[in-house]
Structure 1
């Protein structure tokens, strides 16, 4: 499972499918999905989407590249899917996220950790 997760971390922008990831982990596809979810708390697809969105957040924060270019650079092939996924994970659109960026006076490791989206479900507003 760690080999497959490391492959997703390294090659998040490349097209990765379950058969490829299961082969990296040396297990069947069905077993891979079940075991990955039990081990890491989310499906392989959701993990890969979250990693892509994390990278997009970083690029939106530090560059002025167009949102469409960032969408393609992190591995999404559709701007609509990217925007919908970004909003589901972060709670706001990529453009809104960029407009609200704040320069943090903290080491990068702390700011990245602080701004990382949660992997345990959707954020609930008002709780």
Structure 2
């Protein structure tokens, strides 16, 4: 790996860390790309190459992950949506269903006793969202 490629990875990691930390803020690709010191188009290509999904998709997956935790704690769907930085309840619900395989209201309504009994480090890995493929 060349020094330039290593530098790009460090910048991409910094941008990904910003998404993980500031997911509830109004982030967009140009803002995140600036953190990586890259143009938005170049950043999007490099991010997808490094992490397997686009920056926006990664951001939304993080938001859904955090929203799922809030729903498990008893928060309403609307409050969870707004708490994670989503601006449209309809878009949030659609994306949640796409990623988690069920609607936010049904996810929040069902029991999560197995997850609650797990140590947090296991629960985080177990509840990490993965896109449900549509066939």
Provide the TM-score with structure 1 as the length reference.
0.90
After superposing on structure 2, the runs of 4+ consecutive aligned residues of structure 1 that deviate more than 6 Å are none
Equivalent residue in structure 1 for 2:51, among 40, 49, 53: 40
- Counterpart of 1:31 in structure 2 is 42
3-state SS in 2 of match to 1:38:
helix
Deviation at 1:65, TM superposition (A): 2.2
Decide which of 74, 79, 83 is 1:69's aligned counterpart: 79
Structure 2 equivalent of residue 115 of structure 1: 127
Q: Out of 33-42 and 91-100, give the one that drifted further.
A: 91-100
User: Partners of 1:125 and 1:79 in 2: how far apart?
Assistant: 22
Which residue of 2 is the match for residue 79 of structure 1? 89
Residue 100 of structure 1 pairs with residue 110 of structure 2: yes
Q: In the TM superposition, what is the alpha-carbon distance from 1:108 to its structure 2 partner? A: 1.1
Q: Which has the larger radius of gyration?
A: 2
Query: Where does the alignment leave 5 or more consecutive residues of structure 1 unmatched?
Result: none
Q: How far 1:123 sits from its partner (Å)?
A: 2.1
TM-score when normalising by structure 2: 0.85
Where in structure 2 are there 5+ consecutive unaligned residues? 1-11
